[in-house]
Structure 1
Amino acid sequence: MNKQDWLEYFEAVNGREATEAEIEQAQLAGEFEAEVVAEPSTVQEIAEESVVETTVVQAPAEKQVAAGNTQNTPQSQTDGASQFKAASSNFWNWLVDAWKNPTKEDDSQYNGLITLGITAALLGITVYTLANKLVNSISSAFGQSSSSNADLSVFLIGFVTFALFLFSLTLSSFISRRFIYQDESYTFMKSFAWFGRATALTAPLSLLIFLLVLMGSFQLAGFLLAVFFLLVGTALTYSLLPVGNKTQFDNYYRFLIAVVLSGVIVGIFFRIEYSILGNYIRQTPLGDLSQFFNPMSF
């Protein structure tokens, strides 16, 4: 036993505390083990060894953290590429399904808007390409040997013009379905999703028109442009068809109101687009043609 246990045992048996002499005599007799007191130098050496071991253990951890930070950038790039690939695959699957089922409703909110944006961008590039060919033809007619290019603002003008045109159709569809037919589920974003899906065929058609203009086949490109307007006009007409009847008016009159209102909206945006083209042409060498783009001439 240790010294403390022996002292408690002695006090319990004898009813008193042990004296110093009795404690020394019991220790010599081996009745309890003597306490071992560590020397200060030994304690200090043990503490120093602990500090050294802690430092050695922490060093590999710091290297692992540094290595992890080095690998974060490639991993982030890989994740970004994977997400882009997945998003592209999902959009392509949606686009193919939209070609097969234009009026099918889905939960996609942005694919239709992206499709409309792609269509407007392709037609904007087509306008820019056509302007380049027109400028080069005029330069050749005046005997200029050096080729000229149209300003990049032509692309922007073309993109804005067709974007406003598609927006006017989508807005007409939304106002008719939401306020005339009182379809509460037909939100503003849903109108873009629905109209973009219904006109999904215009995206590859716009690409084909651009390629034909690039190759100089203007007549066939013009014919396909007429098909483009036919497709978007059909989609708008389909969206204006009566849906249910929550009012006292007959569906025929509601459809008539929707058609007239859509015509007004599209006409207002057409005037805006016409003004944009007229203002731009007046700033070009073709300024004499601006009389055909004067909004006051209507």
Structure 2
Amino acid sequence: MNKTDWIEYFEAIHSRTPNEEEIAKALAAGEFSDEELAEAAEVVEETISEKGVESEETVTPVKNSDEESVASATETKTAAFKEKEKEVIEKLKDNQVIADGVQVASNYFAWVLDTLKRPMSKASGFNSIYSYLTLGIIVLFASLSSTLNLHAFYEKTVLNSNFPEFGDYAGISSTNPVGFGTFIALLFAAALFILTLVFATWVALKVLKSPLTFSNVVDKYTSLFIPAAFLVVVASILSLIRLNMLSYIVFILALSIISIALYYIILTAKNNLKLDDFYAKLLALMTCGAIIFVITFILVLIFTTITFKSAFTM
């Protein structure tokens, strides 16, 4: 059975056209033969047949040589078929991966638009990968916006002031330390901050004896962070076109939304403590705030130390 006959048979049985993956599986299972390979096989078989006819007119040693030719031709046909089969399967896999990626991206943007309109109404079609995409977008564009704004701020307040002259007089070389290295550092800092935020919220919910898991907290933040992610992207665009002051304002609004999301998740959580709800929520917020303060202080201290060491060289 060739490919065309198999497709017609499949359509008659299932009342639909088979997809590429089903065709590849059928080819691998030997339910039909590839037309190109079939033609090649026919050529090989004709050659073998002709040699077989000639071998009848020769002596026994020549027959042995023809048998070796037949075996070699058969092995060549089998190897060619397997190689062709492998190429078809790999090509189908690559096409399927690309198609799946495009489909996920398309569904993600539709989900983002729906969630942006109604952050508290869980939009349909949610996929767990959307959480990582959303948090990744926030981390990437927050780092980009911060790097560009810090670079512009350092130029305006330090390099364009009298400090470089004083630095030269004191033997200190002053250069703008904000660059690609700063972006990488901020990338890690932003990722650690988001992780700290989620972790601190999860601990606060455990104080309230909430049954929510860490992944549940991530999913909750994902929906509430969509407006913040949109504002962070806008802030990055404003930084690129040198509207730094406006970028500061938009970035602060994004941070405010992130803070409100934290309070909202904790304050709307169910209190399972044998304690008045007000004091229970207050205890949870204080626990969350303490964790965030300590880790953020350490991150800021490390980043500031690295920045000043790279900014001033004796």
* TM-score relative to the length of structure 2: 0.65
Q: Supply the distance in 2 between the matched residues of 1:281 and 1:63 (Cα, whole angstroms).
A: 61
Describe the SS at the equivalent of 1:92.
helix
Alignment of 1:97 with 2:114, yes or no, is yes
Residues 176 and 240 in structure 1, CA contact (< 8 A), matched pair in contact too? yes
Q: Supply the distance in 1 between the matched residues of 2:207 and 2:191 (Cα, whole angstroms).
A: 25
Q: CA deviation at 1:148?
A: 7.7
The within-5 A match list for 1:255-270 is 255-270=281-296
Q: CA deviation at 1:159?
A: 1.6
Q: CA deviation at 1:241?
A: 1.2
The within-5 A match list for 1:1-298 is 60-105=77-122, 108-133=127-152, 150-177=178-205, 179-184=206-211, 186-285=212-311
Q: Supply the distance in 2 between the matched residues of 1:64 and 1:235 (Cα, whole angstroms).
A: 59
Structure 1 residues 280, 59: CA separation in 2 closer, same or farther (over 3 Å shift)? closer
Q: Supply the distance in 2 between the matched residues of 1:225 and 1:154 (Cα, whole angstroms).
A: 18
Unaligned runs of 5+ in 1: 1-44, 288-298
Q: Supply the distance in 2 between the matched residues of 1:244 and 1:123 (Cα, whole angstroms).
A: 32
Q: CA deviation at 1:237?
A: 0.8
Q: Supply the distance in 2 between the matched residues of 1:286 and 1:211 (Cα, whole angstroms).
A: 30
Structure 1 residues 103, 113: CA separation in 2 closer, same or farther (over 3 Å shift)? farther
* TM-score relative to the length of structure 1: 0.68
**RMSD of Structure 2 on Structure 1 (CA):** 3.3
1:193-239 residue CA offsets vs partner (Å, 9 max, x unmatched): 21122111122211111111111112211111221121011101101
Q: CA deviation at 1:79?
A: 2.2
Q: 1:3 aligns to what?
A: none
Residues 210 and 272 in structure 2, CA contact (< 8 A), matched pair in contact too? no
Q: Supply the distance in 2 between the matched residues of 1:273 and 1:212 (Cα, whole angstroms).
A: 26
Q: Supply the distance in 2 between the matched residues of 1:286 and 1:208 (Cα, whole angstroms).
A: 33
Q: CA deviation at 1:257?
A: 0.8
* Paired AA for residue 111 in structure 1: Y
Structure 1 residues 49, 277: CA separation in 2 closer, same or farther (over 3 Å shift)? closer
* Paired AA for residue 248 in structure 1: K
1:150-209 residue CA offsets vs partner (Å, 9 max, x unmatched): 4421012212222233223222221222x232221x111221121122111122211111
**Larger Rg belongs to:** 1
Q: CA deviation at 1:52?
A: 7.7
Structure 1 residues 120, 48: CA separation in 2 closer, same or farther (over 3 Å shift)? closer
Structure 1 residues 47, 158: CA separation in 2 closer, same or farther (over 3 Å shift)? closer
* Paired AA for residue 268 in structure 1: V
Q: CA deviation at 1:120?
A: 1.2
Q: 2:22 aligns to what?
A: none
The number of residues matched between the two structures is 242
Identity of aligned residues (%): 15
Describe the SS at the equivalent of 2:310.
coil
Describe the SS at the equivalent of 1:240.
helix
Unaligned runs of 5+ in 2: 1-61, 166-174
Q: Supply the distance in 2 between the matched residues of 1:162 and 1:46 (Cα, whole angstroms).
A: 77
* Paired AA for residue 210 in structure 2: D
